Amino acid sequence: MRNHKSQPLVSIVTPSFNQAAFIERTIASVASQDYPNVEHIVFDGGSSDGTIEILKKYPQLDWLSEPDEGQSSAINKGFKKAKGEIIGWLNSDDIYLPGAIREAVEYLQAHSETALVYSDFMEIEADDHERARVLTEPFDLERMLNRGNLLPQPSTFFRREVFDRVGYLNPDYRYAMDYDYWIRIAKSSLRLDRVDRCWSGFRLHGTSKTISEGSRAWREHRRISRAYGGRFLVPLFYGYRRLVYLRLANSRFRSLGMRVNRVFRKLGFKGFHG
């Protein structure tokens, strides 16, 4: 690896609120990357569970804790503060796998026409146990609108020029702000590429919004899909199967959840993350 000053700066933005149980592992996954030029920005919404004490332990972090208007607001603050040429967004309960940042930078450097690159991801449990690698698919806007979110947010990196073309997250969305953002990027005629790698761990735990508020998240995905021209019945079925799987996978019926997911994958419903 060349001297870090010759490498593009990568800004990793992490929104946080009362995630003391996981955020230290998130921080460590960024700090342990084999890429030398990274800034890690954490915007915390005023946590009261010990998160602040954890953040204070890491002088390399650029962090601020103050009340905000929700996750989208915190992420937008981080995006606006970021100085990097390449941006990553890693929630405070997820992790990067080894080599993720370096491989993403190498791909973007080799493909100047690409605005955003993403990979597969690993579903992990609260204790970091790896459950399964989830395979993504090459980007297709029609499939995105009618099958749900094809892009795993923690495995996604994009150029800062995206901000100039697309702006920032829509603060009206609480659950599916990433889904909306990827669609807006695609509709701006920017290129989104998938690579055959696995860059992140997406944590499944009972307090995550994806699971604890899954029905609301599903309805928001549906609303976004319909707003951009998605069909009515397909997103209804597809979102429902993902909700069923996530809830089963985090209950005492885990083996049933895995079997349900395998059946849906055989039917061709795969690649959804949300």
Q: Give the least confident one: 63-77, 87-101, 235-249.
A: 235-249
Q: Name the average pLDDT for the chain.
A: 86
Tally the residues of the chain: 274
pLDDT at 269 over 70: no
If residue 106 lies in a helix (H) or strand (E), which one and from where to where?
helix 100-110
Give the residue with greater pLDDT, 178 vs 212.
178
Give the residue with greater pLDDT, 3 vs 125.
125
CATH number for the domain whose boundaries are 4-207: 3.90.550.10
Q: What is the pLDDT of residues 59-80, one digit of tens each?
A: 999 999 998 888 899 999 999 9
Q: How far apart are CA 90 and CA 95, in angstroms?
A: 7
Give the residue with greater pLDDT, 255 vs 88.
88
CA distances from 263 to 130, 202, 218, 245 (A): 20, 21, 20, 11
pLDDT at 27 over 70: yes
pLDDT at 152 over 50: yes
Give the global pTM: 0.84
CA distances from 237 to 17, 140, 252 (A): 32, 19, 24
Q: What pLDDT is recorded for position 1?
A: 42
Q: CB of 94 within 8 A of CB of 205?
A: no
Q: What pLDDT is recorded for position 243?
A: 56
pLDDT at 214 over 80: no
